[in-house]
Structure 1
């Protein structure tokens, strides 16, 4: 394989294996490393190159198939092939989009929300605020695809509220509104939602335990996963 393939199909980080696998595969398609109509490397080889399980790889491929990027073919010459016609670009709906705007929002979100998680854990929450955070977590965990982003937003705002800073909460609300405009352009992937819920559980547990380092790390990993999917579908 050439150097471009070697660069893209390198091991992903363990924290967001599914999301980063989707990102790497979409990058290979969008950059033309694997062109329309061509077959992706065999599953076993691709899983080894990316450093993920074959289960994770299959979930990522299924997500891309559902989104219209690849298709599976059976038989002696079967495998996973890039579709001849790919979904429209993110700007195809008439709304403006540029990569710099995405990266600007993601950077601001990272700083604000990792800081909020750290401050919330450091603060020591009264009983009412602890209950509020648990309630928002339960709502997000139980949400279906049609209501997930709203419930997810409420949980993230609850973390910001737990800092006790009205200014920080307002800033997080603003950046979340901007992030949602980008999230609305990409498909909801069930495997990602399951992973997000697990990360939410760890995040809230760390905040309630007063574990500052774990809270910041859990939020950072969670935001990195979302950023990987946004870059994959929009960049």
Structure 2
């Protein structure tokens, strides 16, 4: 598989390997690089081309199987195959709305994390952050997005800027409407919790640059999944 296959199955970035792998695999399916009913490259080859571990690849394939894009077959001629009938695509061109939302979110939330880390946080603010982080980490699938939203709002709140908090709340509503259209993927939630911890730790230790970078990486992972399923 060359040409388009090489372009799609290129190494992903380490920071959001699972999310980007899902995005690349869906690109390959939707662009017809691997057509309906066709077999994906063997796991070992695919993992090497994407520059990821086979564990990460299997998590991504399992997520796509749960979303009815691929299926695994056993036996001599087994492997992972694209489903003969794929889920119905999202109607309309969502790219303008999606990219506008993601751009605004990136500016607001990386800025909020950086600003929060630059504050001399009072004990109540520090407790607010740690409590909302713990709530998000302990969330079930059913209430994850609510608690995740609450943590992102808490980061804005501790900056002390009511206008910034209001803006983050508005963009989070837009993001959540988009997230409601894609499946919840447990590996992504585990990864998000790790990234949340990095953001909050950077804020609590007053490392503004690290807070901004950690938030940027976190947002990039969500953006990869939204682009994968909605465009």
The TM-score with structure 1 as length reference comes to 0.97
SS in 1 for 2:81: strand
What is the total number of aligned residue pairs between the two structures? 231
The whole-number CA distance in structure 1 between the counterparts of 2:159 and 2:24 is 35
Corresponding residue for 2:6? Answer: 6
| 1:147-226 equivalence runs, <5 A | 147-226=143-222
Residues 1:131 and 2:127 are matched in the alignment? yes
SS in 2 for 1:59: helix
1:199 shift after superposition: 0.3
1:24 shift after superposition: 0.2
Residues 1:23 and 2:19 are matched in the alignment? no
SS in 1 for 2:16: helix
The whole-number CA distance in structure 1 between the counterparts of 2:88 and 2:122 is 49
User: What 5-or-longer segments of structure 1 have no aligned partner?
Assistant: none
The whole-number CA distance in structure 2 between the counterparts of 1:79 and 1:98 is 33
The whole-number CA distance in structure 1 between the counterparts of 2:134 and 2:193 is 10
The whole-number CA distance in structure 2 between the counterparts of 1:13 and 1:140 is 25
The whole-number CA distance in structure 2 between the counterparts of 1:64 and 1:196 is 19
1:88 shift after superposition: 1.5
User: What 5-or-longer segments of structure 2 have no aligned partner?
Assistant: none
RMSD of equivalent CA atoms = 0.8
Corresponding residue for 1:234? Answer: 230
1:69 shift after superposition: 0.3
SS in 1 for 2:80: strand
SS in 2 for 1:123: coil
**4+ runs deviating over 3 angstroms:** none
The whole-number CA distance in structure 2 between the counterparts of 1:184 and 1:150 is 11
